[in-house]
Amino acid sequence: MIELEDAPTTETVAGHAACVKTAAGHDRVRLILVDPDAMSRHALSDALRADGRFTVIAQAESSNEGVELALHYKPALVVIANAVPGMDAVRAIERITAGAAEVRVVLVSATHELEIEMCAVRAGASGFLDKDSGLAAIARSLTLVAAGDSVISREMTRLLLDRLRRTPEDGSGMRPVKSPLTDREWEILDMICSGMGTREMADDLFLSTETVNSHVKRILRKLGVHSRSAAVEVAGQMRSGILV
C-alpha cells in the first residue's frame, strides 16, 4: 500500500528537488517512509512533521513500493525498516542507490545486528538507526544524514577501524561500499589478487573448479576486463579510492 502525503508541487516533481520551501522560505527535507508497521510509520511521520524540518511525501509498507517511490520522486531521504516484505531491505537499498545516487537511505531496525548493518552500509546506506532510540533521536539523526553525514553505531565504527588497522598497505582484502560484485565474487577476487589458482581456490572454498571458473567469468564480465591480471589491476584501483 502506498500513501501519498504532502504531495510535491509539479515543479518539485519535475526537478526532483530534494527540499521544499516552507511558508517562511526555509528548506524542508523531502523523505519517504517504508515500513510494514502502520502505527510505527505514522508515529514517525507525525514526529517528523512536528519537527518542522521534514516533509513526508509518501509512505509505503513494502520494499517494492518503496523502491518505486524513491526512483520516481528522488527525495533527499528514504527511511526503510529492516522488516519490510518483498525484496529484503538490503536489496532495496542497492536498487535505490544504484538508480538514484543522490538519494540517501537510512535503515531502521528493531534489532541491533552488526552483520545487517555492515550489509546495509555496503549496499549504499548512509545510516543505520535503532527503532527503539526514540522519535526525537531519529529525527536528529535524519537531519545529520540529510546534511551529508553518515550515522552508524559505535560497534560498527569500532569494527571498521579495526578492519582498517589490519588492512595491508596495498588495501588487499578491502571492499568498496558500492561495487557490482557480490560478497562471494569479492572473496574469489581477493584470492586471485593473492595469486591463487583455480584448483587452490576450489579446494579452499570447497567448490568445484567449474563453479570457481563460472565465478571468475562473472567477475571479469562485471569489471569489464578479459583477464585475471586486469581484474587485479581494477581491484587495486577500486581499493585505492578507499585508502585515499
CATH number at residue 208: 1.10.10.10
Instruction: Dump strand ranges (E) for the chain.
Output: 2-4, 19-21, 27-34, 54-60, 77-81, 104-109, 127-130
CA dihedral 84, 109, 148, 176 (to 10 degrees): -80
Mean pLDDT across the stretch 122-151?
Answer: 87
Q: Which of residues 118, 138, 158 is at a domain's end?
A: 158
Q: Which of residues 115, 138, 158 is at a domain's end?
A: 158
Report whether 43 contacts 135 (CB < 8 A). Answer: yes
Q: Are residues 8 and 96 in the same domain?
A: yes
pLDDT band for 22, please (50, 70, 90 cuts). very low
CATH number, residue 27: 3.40.50.2300
Q: Which of residues 106, 134, 158 is at a domain's end?
A: 158
For the whole model, what pTM was predicted?
0.61
Number of domains in the chain: 2
pLDDT band for 185, please (50, 70, 90 cuts). confident
Range of 53's domain?
2-158
Q: Are residues 84 and 34 in the same domain?
A: yes
